[in-house]
């Protein structure tokens, strides 16, 4: 008996020490104690303050991007089969109000080769519907079912990419999820607790970072001094499959340069695998990047065929660098001439986290001030302490010395719950505080079940030790039943709820699991320690 008690006591002590370490660590001063507590018990947006953003995913960008990639593949296939054409184009993303209207137009297919052309489209482009415009011209439009799938995938990828970017910013306990307000399926909700510079965070989140590396028009590779200068020299009409873009202003430069570049890029951010900031031999900032195997093959083929031509590195429709191809480049490269460490670091973050599949448009931005969070914390703590004090008073008044047993188990339950929040890197929110308070009620309920069962056994004439054994044994299944049903309810809340509802479910579930340990294992151990020295005890303070 004594050996068994010692083992159980060691388990309880070790549990307490592990929990305390998870909450406060090993502080050496009062200041360090509060620093550790603040670091380990993370607060959610409603307590800490921060930014609340609602953004709309511009799904038409992804549809246009898919169409442009299809054009690129189609051109290669037509060349292989010696099928001629005069032009291919796709609806401009900025001119499209409904993604369903994005259409690929192919002109100049000879009538004698129309059969081979149709067979190629039917075999390799099953997501598109081919429509004949006349004897030589055709249009392609994505099928409705595939269009819906692309939109959903675009929103999901956007959420994943923004999550990656926020994680690289080091924003703790952020939340990015789909937002169904106003019946839209393309809105996302972003919550950033404790963000010191929300403007910069919004810029990093909202930038599409559509990296494109594409060729510069050979006839005008020195650029233009302005958009008006470019249009004047081009006769007011841009060449087919080319676009005019501005270059990022350089430090000390006067005016802004413009370049004529190919619409269809050599590679995009989708082929990126890694990127890191650094400095070149003359200590100028740059971002080095590596490509996927497929991207490396495409890049190597293009650079090998266009040595001494120029390439433009385009980020969000702005040219960040124009470089001359000196030799064949395959799986790695550098974006040079960046202005600062911050610029190089931000660019590497964009590339590592991947390009957003579509642009995002800010719809709503709210800031939760820290004073509101402080009020919430104060009120939550006050209500929790008041409830705990009332419970402790009633337990001690009604169950006398045995009530001390319940109070100790209750305190340990709270410690375990806070430690679990710390170890799981979860955030404590207002719904989480509600879960803690509800857990206190469940813990008291378990102790009441056990104590009342012991009372019933004592009334039947059983001895104290036998009554305690029977009380814990018979109350066990009732406690398990109530806790399991509540955990199942929490599981449904977690599966179908969002944000704060999930936080409430997680907090309550952890508290319930801890309660089984404290109300049964810890409480029973305390009773056994007291009874082990009084085998002849005839009454029990309960």
Q: Would you write out the chain's pLDDT as a tens digit for each of its 542 residues?
A: 555 788 888 899 999 999 988 888 877 777 777 777 777 777 776 677 777 788 888 888 888 878 887 887 888 889 888 999 898 888 764 455 544 568 899 999 988 899 999 999 988 888 899 999 998 999 998 888 888 888 888 888 788 778 776 766 555 567 788 876 544 578 888 877 776 566 666 666 765 556 788 999 988 888 898 889 988 888 888 888 899 999 877 655 667 889 999 988 888 877 777 778 888 878 888 888 888 887 888 888 898 889 889 988 887 678 877 888 888 888 887 777 677 887 787 667 666 655 677 778 878 777 766 655 667 667 767 877 887 788 888 888 888 888 888 888 888 888 898 888 888 777 777 777 788 878 878 888 888 888 888 888 888 888 888 888 888 888 888 888 888 999 999 899 888 876 677 778 888 888 888 988 988 888 888 888 877 765 556 667 67
CA–CA distances in Å: residue 266 to residues 130, 290, 332, 415? 26, 15, 14, 57
Residue 353's pLDDT is what? 58
Over its C-alpha atoms, the chain yields an Rg (Å, rounded) of 33
Measure the CA–CA gap between 156 and 508, rounded to whole angstroms: 29
CB 264 within 8 A of CB 239: no
Measure the CA–CA gap between 25 and 6, rounded to whole angstroms: 26
Beta strands in 38-173 (DSSP E): 42-43, 50-58, 87-90, 103-107, 128-132, 138-142
Beta bridge partners of 56: 187, 361
| Residue among 105, 106, 102 at smallest CA distance from 94 | 102
| Residue among 150, 153, 107 at smallest CA distance from 132 | 107
CA–CA distances in Å: residue 488 to residues 445, 491, 492, 493? 18, 5, 7, 9
CB 310 within 8 A of CB 221: yes
Measure the CA–CA gap between 171 and 221, rounded to whole angstroms: 42
Measure the CA–CA gap between 422 and 42, rounded to whole angstroms: 7
Residue 197's pLDDT is what? 62
Q: How many other C-beta atoms are found inside a 10 Å radius of the C-beta of residue 74? A: 22
In sign, the C-alpha dihedral spanning 266, 271, 273, 275 is: positive
CA–CA distances in Å: residue 285 to residues 169, 249, 278? 20, 16, 6
Q: Is the pTM of this model over 0.85?
A: no
User: Left (φ > 0), alpha (ψ -120 to 50) or beta: where does 209 sit?
Assistant: left
Q: Which two tokens stand for residue 246?
A: 């501005």
Measure the CA–CA gap between 140 and 109, rounded to whole angstroms: 14
Is residue 246 classed as helix, strand or coil in its secondary structure?
strand
Is residue 449 classed as helix, strand or coil in its secondary structure?
helix
CB 418 within 8 A of CB 34: no
Measure the CA–CA gap between 493 and 515, rounded to whole angstroms: 20
Is residue 174 classed as helix, strand or coil in its secondary structure?
coil
| Residue among 519, 512, 521 at smallest CA distance from 417 | 512
Q: Which two tokens stand for residue 336?
A: 């040079």
Q: Which two tokens stand for residue 100?
A: 């369903």
Residue 99's pLDDT is what? 47
Measure the CA–CA gap between 246 and 8, rounded to whole angstroms: 72
Can you count the helices (H) and strands (E) in the chain?
16, 19
Measure the CA–CA gap between 248 and 321, rounded to whole angstroms: 8
Neighbouring residues of 353: CB distance < 8 A, sequence distance ≥ 6: 161, 164, 165, 168, 209
Is residue 168 classed as helix, strand or coil in its secondary structure?
helix
Rounded-to-5 percentages of helix, strand, coil across the chain: 55, 20, 25
Q: How far is CA 156 from the centre of its chain?
A: 10
List the alpha helices (DSSP H) in 114-143. 114-124
Residue 182's pLDDT is what? 47
């Amino acid at each position: 008996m004594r050996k068994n008690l010692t083992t159980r006591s060691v388990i309880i002590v070790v549990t307490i020490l592990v929990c305390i370490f998870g909450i406060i660590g090993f502080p050496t001063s009062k200041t360090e104690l509060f620093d550790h507590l603040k670091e380990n018990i993370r607060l959610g947006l409603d307590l800490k303050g921060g930014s609340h953003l609602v953004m709309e995913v511009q799904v038409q960008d992804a549809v246009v991007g898919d169409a442009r990639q299809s054009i690129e593949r189609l051109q290669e296939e037509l060349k292989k089969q010696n099928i001629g054409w005069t032009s291919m184009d796709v609806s401009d993303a900025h001119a499209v109000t409904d993604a369903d209207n994005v259409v690929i137009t192919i002109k100049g297919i000879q009538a004698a080769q129309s059969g081979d052309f149709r067979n190629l489209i039917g075999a390799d482009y099953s997501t598109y519907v081919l429509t004949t415009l006349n004897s030589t011209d055709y249009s392609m439009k994505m099928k409705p079912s595939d269009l819906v799938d692309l939109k959903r995938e675009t929103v999901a990828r956007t959420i994943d990419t923004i999550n990656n970017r926020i994680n690289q910013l080091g924003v703790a306990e952020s939340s990015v999820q789909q937002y169904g307000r106003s019946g839209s399926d393309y809105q996302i909700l972003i919550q950033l607790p404790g963000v010191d510079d929300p403007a910069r965070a919004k810029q990093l989140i909202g930038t599409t970072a559509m990296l494109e590396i594409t060729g510069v028009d050979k006839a005008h590779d020195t650029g233009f001094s302005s958009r008006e200068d470019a249009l004047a020299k081009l006769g007011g009409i841009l060449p087919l499959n080319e676009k005019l873009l501005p270059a990022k202003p350089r430090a000390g430069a006067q005016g802004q340069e413009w370049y004529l570049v190919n619409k269809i890029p050599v590679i995009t951010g989708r082929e990126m695998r890694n990127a890191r900031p650094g400095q070149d031999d003359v200590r100028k900032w740059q971002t080095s990047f590596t490509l996927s195997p497929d991207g490396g093959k495409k890049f190597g083929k293009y650079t090998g065929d266009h040595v001494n031509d120029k390439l433009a590195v385009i980020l969000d429709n702005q040219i960040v660098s124009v470089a001359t191809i000196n030799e064949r480049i395959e799986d790695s490269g550098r974006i040079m001439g960046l202005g600062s460490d911050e610029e190089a670091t931000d660019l590497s973050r964009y590339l590592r986290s991947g390009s957003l599949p579509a642009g995002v448009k800010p719809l709503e931005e709210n800031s939760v001030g820290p004073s509101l969070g402080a009020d919430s914390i104060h009120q939550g703590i006050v209500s929790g302490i008041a409830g705990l004090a009332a419970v402790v008073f009633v337990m001690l008044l009604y169950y006398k010395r045995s009530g001390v047993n319940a109070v100790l188990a209750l305190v340990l339950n709270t410690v375990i719950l806070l430690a679990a929040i710390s170890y799981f890197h979860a955030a404590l929110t207002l719904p989480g505080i509600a879960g803690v308070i509800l857990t206190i009620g469940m813990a008291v309920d378990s102790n009441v079940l056990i104590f009342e069962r012991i009372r019933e056994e004592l009334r039947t004439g059983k001895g104290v030790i036998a009554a305690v054994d029977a009380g814990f044994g018979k109350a066990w299944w009732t406690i398990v039943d109530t806790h399991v049903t509540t955990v199942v309810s929490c599981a449904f809340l977690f599966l179908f709820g969002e944000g704060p509802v999930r936080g409430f479910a997680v907090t309550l579930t952890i508290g319930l699991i801890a309660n089984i340990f404290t109300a049964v294992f810890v409480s029973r151990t305390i009773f056994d320690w007291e009874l082990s020295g009084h085998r002849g005890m005839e009454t029990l303070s309960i």
